[in-house]
Chain A
Amino acid sequence: MFYRRSGIRHTRYQSERQLFPLGFDRFLILSVLAVLLAAPFLFDRLYVTGYLLPWLIWSSAALGLNLLMGGAGQVHLGYGAVMAMGAYGSVHLMRFGAPLELAMIAGGLISASVGIIFGAAALRVKGIYLAMATLAMQSIVDFVISQTPAISGGALATLQAPPARFLGISLSGERETYYFALLVCAVITLFMLNVRRTSFGRALAAIREKDYAAEILGISTLRYKLMAFWVSSFIGGVVGSVLAICYLRAVSPDQFHLDLSIQILAMVIVGGLGSVLGPFFGAALVLFAPILINNALGSAFSTFGMTVPIDLRAHLPLVAYGALVIGFLLYEPYGLAKIYSNVRTYLLVWPFRHAQR
C-alpha cells in the first residue's frame, strides 16, 4: 500500500541502481529532510538546541564510528579521543586566526594521522585485543591533553571556541549553528550511503567477514584497514570540531573522556552495526531516553503528589533506561535499524504476503 512494490519493475539500470530505488523511500527521506530544514521555524528553541542539534552531532559521530565497526569490523573504544584531537586541533587553529573551513579539515587530518597510528595495531591484533589497544589510545590522548597546559589551556583547562564564520556566515545564533551541523551531518550521511557501493566499501565488508579470506581474494588488508581507520578518524575529527564550535563552545579535557567513547559505541550497537539509519536511531535513544524518562517520571510523581526521595527519583530513570536498552537488544540483536527494516519489509508488499523478488 505504501511502497507499491508489487508488480513494479525497473526498466532502466539507472533507476534500479539509484540510492533509493523505491519512490516511497525517496518521499520519506525528503519529508524528514524538509522537517529538519524547517525545524528552527517550526519548533521551540528548546527542541532545536536541546534535542535536534545534539542529535545531529552525535549521529554524525556515530556514523563515523560505524564505518569502522560496522563497515570494517574493527572495534574502537577510543572514539572520544579521536573527537578530542579534532576539537582541540581546530579550536587552537581558530584561536591562531585560521578560518573555520580550514580548521575543521585540519582537525580531521590531525585526528586521522594520529588515529592511523593506533589503527596500525589492528594489523596485528583483533577483537578484544584491538579494543584494548584503542582503549590505550583513549588514555594516552586524555593524558597528553590534560598534562600539556599549552593544549588544555592552563590552570582552568578550558579553551573558549572563538567566534566562527562558515562561508561568510557568522555561526553565533542558534539557527546558524543548527544548519551548520545539519549540513555536516548530511554530507557524512551521503558519504556513508555511497561508500558501501564503492570498491572501498566492498573491500571493507570483505575484511569484516574474514580478513585472510579477503587477502586471498586480492584485497590488501594492510592498506584497507589503515584506510578504514584514516577515514573514520577523519570524520571523528571533523565532528569533534563541530561539537566544540557549535555545541560545547568551550573545550575541556573531561568532555572527551571514555564516557563519550562508550556513549557513541552504545549508539552504534543499539542502533545497528553497519547500518546508516542505525546511528540516528541509536543516538536518539541513548541521548534522549534518559531525559524523557526522567521528565516523565518527575512530572508523574509531582502530578500524583507522590513524595519520592530524590535519590530514588534520579536512579529510577536509569533503571528504566537500562531495561529499555536490554529489551531492544533482546528483541532485536541487530539493533533499532533492523526493527525498522523488518517493519519496512513487512509493509513492502502489504496487504499481500509474498511478492516476487
Chain B
Amino acid sequence: MKMTRRTFVASAAAGIAAPTICTTGAFAQEKVVRISAPQDFTRIYTFVTSEYSQGQRDYFTLINERGGVGGYKLVIDVSDHANDLPRAIEAYERGKREGAVAIDPLSTPVARALVPRALEDKINLITAYSGRSDAADGSVFPYVLPLSINYWSQAGLIVEQFKRIEKGSLQGKKLAFVHIDTPFGKEPLPILEVLAKREGFTLNAFPYTPPGNDQSAIWPQVRRARPDFTVFWGAAVGQTVALSEAIRNGLPMDRVSSSVWLSESDMDVVGRAAAKGVMKIEPCVGGREPKIIKDILAEVVGKGKGAGPEAKVGTGYYNYGVQMASLIAEGVRMAAQKAPNGPVTGPWLNAGLTAIKNFTAEGLLPPTTITPDDHQGGGMGRVAQWDGNKFVPITDWFTANQDVVWDEIRKYSAEFKKSGK
C-alpha cells in the first residue's frame, strides 16, 4: 500500500490523540484516591528518586492487591519533572485537573514554588526530606506536609548522639560541620549555632563549592582543626566525595555522621570496608527485616509485579519511599473512617493525614503522630552505624532538641505568614 502524505498525517494525529482519550476512563468504576508524583528522575536526584519511587509504587501495589484501603484504591501517576519549574508546575496543574488530592514532587526548588499554589488550591503537598523546613508548622502551612523529620531535627538528633557518645557533655569539644555551599547545605547552621552555645562546644563550618565533586582543598583544613566530631552535609555526588575525603584524611569514622542522605549505594562507591563506623540518621528502618518489606517481597515482587529491580528492595531510599507511601495510605484510611463516602478532595485527605496517630507501619517507622499543628510527625529518628555491610541501628527511636527546632520553625513560619497572602 502506498502511503500518501495525508494518510500519514492522519494516522500520526490519531496515534497521538488515542492514548490521551483512553487513559481518562480507566479507573472510572472504582473509588480511587489519586496521587500525583512528578519527580526528578533525570537531572539531580536521579538514582535517589528511582529507588524512592520504586518503594512508593511497590507499596501502593501491595495495598491495591489486598483490595485497597478503606474501600479506596490508590493510584499514583509518576512522571519526570527534571527539577525544572515549568515542567513541575505543568505536572501539578495536570494532576489537579485529573483529580489528584496529593502531590509528592521530592524536590526542594519545586516544593518552594508549589507551596503558595497548594495552599490556595487545598491540595496536599508532600515534602518528605525536601521543601521548607518550617512547613512542619501546620497552623501556617495546612496543606504542606513533610511527614518526616526535617533537616533541623536531624541536626538536633546528631548533636544529641554525639553528646551520648561523650557520656552526657559536649563541653569544650570541637564539632566540624562540612557542608555544600548552598541554601540546603547551610540550613542546619542556625540550629547547630544555638546548640553550640547551649552545650558549650565550638562549631567550625567548612563550606565546599557545589556540586562538590572536588573537596580536596577543604578536608585537610578539617583535619588540621582536629575536630572531636564531624558532620558532613550534602547530597548526591557530594556525599560520597566527602566521605572518601574524610577517610583519606584519617578522621575517626565512628565520630563522623551525616543526615538521612547516605545509603548502601554510596558505600559501594566509597568502599564498604573503609567506611566502617560512619553514622547516619535513619527516619525509618532500613533493610528487608520490617514486615512490610517482607510482604512486598512475597506479594508484589514475588509475583512479578515489582516496579523495579529486586536488588533495590530494602535499600535506604527504597524504604523512605515505602515510608511515605504507608503514611499516605494511613491518611486515606483515617479519612475514609471519618467520611467513608468522600467526596475525595484535598481537605478530605488532609483531615485523614492530620489524624494519623502513633502509626508505625508494622514496625517500619518510629511512632508517628501528625496533628493539624505538627506536620513533622513528632521528630523521631534513630542513628545507624555502618558496620561494613549494612547500617546497624545503635540507638532506639528518640527525639532531641525539639525546642530549638521549633523556635526556628516558628520564626520562619511567622515570617512566611507576614509576607504571604
Contacts and interface: CB of A to CB of B under 8 A. Distances in A.
Q: Do A and B interact with each other, yes or no? A: yes
Interface stretch (B231-239, B360-368, B413-421): B413-421
Most buried by B among A44, A54, A158: A158
B97 interface: yes
B183 A156 contact: yes
B113 A250 contact: yes
B82 A290 contact: yes
B54 to A, nearest CB: 7
A254 B54 CA distance: 27
Interface residues of B, number: 52
A287 interface: yes
Nearest to B419: A160
Interface string A279-313: 00000000100110011101110110000011101
A43 to B, nearest CB: 12
A125 to B, nearest CB: 25
Contact of A146 (B115, B134, B183, B416): B183
B109 A160 contact: no
Interface in B28-55: 41-42, 50, 53-54
Contacts of B50: 310-311
Contacts of B94: 46, 50, 295
A273 to B, nearest CB: 23
A299 B78 CA distance: 11
A46 B97 contact: yes
A252 B19 contact: no
Contacts of A249: 113, 116-117
Given A46-B94, A156-B133, A250 B79 contact: no
Contact of B97 (A45, A157, A172): A45
Interface in B77-132: 78-80, 82, 84-87, 89-91, 93-94, 96-97, 108-109, 112-113, 115-117, 132
Contacts of A303: 18-19, 22-23
B79 A298 contact: yes
B90 A44 contact: no
Interface in A237-295: 247-250, 252-255, 259, 287, 290-291, 294-295
Contacts of A309: 308
Given A156-B187, A254-B182, A296 B16 contact: yes
Contacts of A50: 89-90, 93-94
Nearest to A57: B86
B112 A58 contact: no
Nearest to B189: A155
Nearest to A318: B42
A51 interface: yes
Interface residues of A, number: 50
A317 interface: yes
Contacts of A210: none
Nearest to B115: A250
A157 B180 CA distance: 14
A147 B183 CA distance: 9
B4 interface: no
A252 B412 CA distance: 15
A111 interface: no
B41 A315 contact: yes
A160 B418 CA distance: 10
A154 interface: yes
B199 interface: no
Contacts of A318: 42, 82
A314 B132 contact: no
B190 interface: yes
Given A172-B421, A248-B85, A252-B109, A317 B80 contact: yes
A155 B408 contact: yes
A177 to B, nearest CB: 12
B80 A299 contact: no
Contact of B93 (A46, A295, A310, A314): A46
B31 to A, nearest CB: 20
Contacts of B16: 296
A44 B94 CA distance: 10
A226 to B, nearest CB: 32
Nearest to B188: A155
A44 B85 contact: no
Contacts of A147: 181
Interface string A33-48: 0000000000011100
Contacts of B113: 248-250, 255
A54 B89 contact: yes
Nearest to B186: A155
Contact of B41 (A158, A252, A310): A310
A254 B97 contact: no
A255 B85 contact: yes
28 contacts: A44-B97, A46-B94, A46-B96, A50-B90, A54-B90, A146-B183, A154-B415, A155-B186, A155-B408, A156-B132, A156-B412, A159-B419, A160-B416, A248-B85, A248-B113, A252-B109, A254-B108, A287-B86, A290-B84, A295-B94, A299-B22, A299-B23, A302-B23, A310-B78, A311-B41, A313-B80, A314-B41, A318-B42
Given A58-B86, A250-B116, 15 more contacts: A46-B90, A46-B96, A51-B90, A54-B86, A95-B419, A157-B183, A157-B186, A160-B419, A248-B85, A249-B113, A259-B84, A290-B87, A299-B22, A302-B23, A310-B307
